[in-house]
Amino acid sequence: MFGRLWSQSRLEQLSPVWIWKESIHIWHAVFRRDDPASQVYLFVESSDARPLGQLRKIVIAKRVAEATPNHCPAIYPFLDTEDHRRADSSWKILISGDVGHLQDVSVLRSSSLLLTGIDDFRTDSITRFICVPNRRSRQTRLVLGMNWLDDWNDVKHVRCVMVAMCTLLLYEWLILLDREIELIYKARVSFINVCYILCRYYTAAAWIILMWCYVGDHPKELCTRVVRPVHAILAPCQFTSQGVMLMRAYAFTSRSRQVLLILGLCYLFLVGFNIGVFCAPVDILEELYTVLGSTGCFPDFGDGFMGRRVGYSIFASTLMDFISLLVVSIQCYRTQARDVSLGRYVENQGLLGFALVCIINLTCTVIYFQLSDGTGLPMTLVLPNLVACRLILQLRQRCQPLTETELDARNSRIVRDAFDRLQVYEDSWTMS
């Protein structure tokens, strides 16, 4: 998902990169250390002690003598000329201002100098930023890698999915509002009504906060304060629909205490695990703020451990749904009415909702682990809750008294089924 980290062995195989942001542009200067005798060292520190935060000017010159704070050759003419194709030694890049211990950086002609817009990151060859204390030191420290580019692509994907889920939430609420008023608000208060309100309105309220936090751009200071509480409000969205499935399975098995004990223990484990996962301390994506300045307050799952824990919580929800589906399926075959087809019986009991929630969670789990960009998480937080709301409304509507038209249709169906089962015996006459 966010903040992927490459192994050290992988990093050693890549070429270093220097990245700088000014206004709406990013300057990429790619360089290599082809000659071991003349290694490239760079130590960059901003005037306010924030790495790569407030550097004021970039000075690029062919010779070090030209690289003074008062002399800054234009970047655009340099890109438009053929000078960078010549075979002389190297360019020297210096950064002016109070930047601490600064050393020369050799930009080889075999590499490139690119000027790229903030929304156009087609620079796959750029790899990382190398920072060392001084020219004599042989120990390198990774300051800024190309993980930020992967993070930024993931952020754009997740934002699209979040907007799509927000649109789906609004659409479902509008088309079911009349049934909701009739079947939920006008009915007596019950536990299933509370479950419906949680599935519908807690998810919607949480999504409004998430849209502000993740889709909008915010400064680093604000995101540092809000990333953990915003991440914690996701926890109930992960287990509210499973509570509805538990209550339906319990009612379907004639309120069996054994079923309630098994499913109740599984549900308590699911709730505790999700609270532990989503309420754990999380950090923000530091590199994105270094490059972009401001972005969404996304949590950093870079070490892999946090990302795997979220994936396991999605898998635990899927497992809980499968256990509930297995219980009701066994009960379905045991108590199926003899005069009703299996397909109609399954439809009448709302078992298709169980199967649909299981399929959705399983699909989201596969997407989350397969793509590793976080797009499966918004779907698994929203889609099961929408299906649970529809299931509650469907069962509530079946419990309502039949209207005169529905009663006539039901009686007609009973008579038609009776005639279909009637066996007509006819005598056979043989003519000779």
Q: Which residues of the chain have pLDDT under 70?
A: 1-149, 290-291, 302-304, 335-350, 400-411, 418-432
Task: Write down which residue in 97, 125, 145 finishes a domain.
Answer: 145
The per-residue pLDDT for 114 is: 28
On the CB side of 41, CA atoms within 13 Å amount to 16
The per-residue pLDDT for 273 is: 94
The reply to whether 141 and 159 lie within a common domain is no
224, 223, 231, 237: which is closest to 271 by C-alpha?
Answer: 237
Q: Which two tokens stand for residue 64?
A: 């070090």
What's the maximum distance between 2 C-alpha atoms anywhere in the chain?
126
The reply to whether 28 and 132 lie within a common domain is yes
Please name every residue paired with 115 in a beta bridge, in sequence order, or none if there are none.
27
Q: What torsion, rounded to 10 degrees, do the Cα atoms 419, 421, 427, 431 define?
A: 90
Residue 48 Cα to chain centre, angstroms: 34
Burial bucket for residue 174 (CB in 10 Å: 0-12, 13-18, 19+): exposed
DSSP at 349: T
Residue 426, SS3?
coil
The reply to whether 164 and 251 lie within a common domain is yes
The Cα–Cα gap between 22 and 322 comes to 52
Chain position carrying tokens 């399983």: 362
Q: What is the pLDDT of residues 257-292, one digit of tens each?
A: 888 899 999 999 999 999 999 998 888 887 777 667
- CATH number reported for the structural domain that contains residue 308 in this entry: 1.20.1070
Q: Is residue 292 part of a domain?
A: yes
The reply to whether 299 and 258 lie within a common domain is yes
Q: Residue 27 sits in which domain range? A: 8-145
Please name every residue paired with 26 in a beta bridge, in sequence order, or none if there are none.
21, 116
In this structure, are residues 146 and 291 in contact, taking their beta carbons and an 8 Å threshold? Answer: no
The Cα–Cα gap between 320 and 303 comes to 27
The reply to whether 135 and 155 lie within a common domain is no
The Cα–Cα gap between 298 and 215 comes to 9
Angle at the Cα of 95 from the Cα atoms of 90 and 97, rounded to 5 degrees:
155
The reply to whether 79 and 138 lie within a common domain is yes
The reply to whether 182 and 307 lie within a common domain is yes
Beta strands in 146-286 (DSSP E): 218-219, 283-284
- Domain total for the chain? 2
Chain position carrying tokens 């790569």: 52
How many helices (H) and strands (E) the chain has is answered by 15, 12
The reply to whether 160 and 279 lie within a common domain is yes
The reply to whether 181 and 206 lie within a common domain is yes
DSSP for 102-156?
---EEEETTS-EEEEETT----TT--EEEE-SSTT----EEEEETHHHHHHHHHH
230, 314, 312: which is closest to 279 by C-alpha?
Answer: 230
The per-residue pLDDT for 164 is: 94
Q: How many CB atoms lie within 10 A of CB 308?
A: 14
Residue 260 Cα to chain centre, angstroms: 33
DSSP at 424: P
Q: Is residue 38 part of a domain?
A: yes
The Cα–Cα gap between 301 and 158 comes to 14
The Cα–Cα gap between 80 and 93 comes to 18
The reply to whether 33 and 103 lie within a common domain is yes
The reply to whether 100 and 199 lie within a common domain is no
Confidence (pTM): 0.62
Task: Write down which residue in 115, 145, 175 finishes a domain.
Answer: 145
In this structure, are residues 144 and 128 in contact, taking their beta carbons and an 8 Å threshold? Answer: yes
The reply to whether 91 and 228 lie within a common domain is no
Q: Is residue 407 part of a domain?
A: no
Residue 272, SS3?
helix
Residue 222 Cα to chain centre, angstroms: 21
Residue 304 Cα to chain centre, angstroms: 14
The per-residue pLDDT for 386 is: 93
Q: What torsion, rounded to 10 degrees, do the Cα atoms 60, 292, 301, 388 define?
A: -150
Q: Which residues of 232-250 are buried (b: 16+ CB within 10 A; e: fewer)?
A: ebbbbbbbbbbbbbbbbbb
Q: Is residue 328 part of a domain?
A: yes
Q: What is the pLDDT of residues 161-186, one digit of tens each?
A: 999 999 999 999 999 999 999 889 88
Residues 6+ apart with CB under 8 A from 177: none
The Cα–Cα gap between 170 and 175 comes to 9
The Cα–Cα gap between 195 and 189 comes to 11
The Cα–Cα gap between 402 and 424 comes to 33
